[in-house]
A and B are shown apart, each in its own frame.
Chain A
Amino acid sequence: MTRVLFASFVAAAVGYLAGAMRPTPRPSAPVVETRVVRVPTPIPASIALPAHARAEPEPPQRRPEPASEHRAAVEVGRALVARVLAAGRLVDEDAAALRALLPRLEGADDEELMATLLPAINDGRVLVATDGPPF
């Protein structure tokens, strides 16, 4: 009798343990969506770079014309205008030289040169003897 009771107890215990160890079905895992939201954080003034330091680097500038070349162009222009005024005529060669020279002059030098030549042309002191425009 005792054996029967013991065997029943063991069987119940085994059954209990077996039931406890059986994996229980899990509910389907929820889909988790992750979003990264960046909130701009003000940079403390103590560590912020100045605006010019943060700007994109500028493309390389054209090398400025050396001062000596510029001075030479101004001198050539003055000599040309002086020669034209002295001759009282502006010929095709002068016009071609002016067309080549003027883009190399800076604003003030250009103005100075043309403020000498243009009134002479417009007043008739210099005869424009070119096929086309005088410069």
Chain B
Amino acid sequence: MRRLLLIVGILGFSTTAFAGYKWGQPVTIDTTARSATGTMGTARATADSVQYLECAASAGTSNVVAQCWARDAAGTTVACRSFNNYIFSALAAINSDSRITFTWDATGTCTTVSVQTGSSYQPKTP
């Protein structure tokens, strides 16, 4: 019995010792600063069935369109849209575990899109 407890203890300790730093951020919107941010995995994993964080990139033969949307737990929704090539290109870095931050101006045009991907971000789960 004592040996069993020892093994369980070692296994538990090992799991803790080798777990990396984990971090996630639900959708956070600042309408004054015109900024929205969050990690994809955390936004999806929240139990509220309200939050989302999403960006889309589409291209035609003569233009590109980038757009991002976010809704926080309180139901505040923001969106921006841009025809800028740099903004459009940044969206290519997004994956399902990314942290996305976007800002917009008074006309609703996206002014920045920041994409971060790291081991600490919670992966998206079903």
Contacts and interface: CB of A to CB of B under 8 A. Distances in A.
Interface of A: 102-103, 107, 111, 114-115, 117-119, 121-124, 127-128, 132-135
Contacts of B71: 128
Nearest to B78: A122
Contacts of B109: 115, 118
A121 B107 contact: no
A122 B108 contact: yes
Contacts of B75: 127
Contacts of A118: 79-81, 104, 107-109
B52 interface: yes
A122 B83 contact: no
B104 A122 contact: yes
B114 interface: no
Nearest to B67: A135
A contacts with B: majority SS: helix
Interface in B55-80: 56, 58, 60, 63, 65, 67, 69, 71, 75-80
Contacts of B63: 107
B124 interface: no
Interface of B: 31, 34, 52, 54, 56, 58, 60, 63, 65, 67, 69, 71, 75-81, 83, 104, 106-109
Contact of A134 (B31, B60, B69): B69
B107 A115 contact: yes
Contact of A122 (B31, B54, B65): B31
A123 B52 contact: no
B93 to A, nearest CB: 20
6 contacts: A114-B81, A118-B107, A122-B104, A127-B75, A132-B54, A135-B79
Contacts of B60: 103
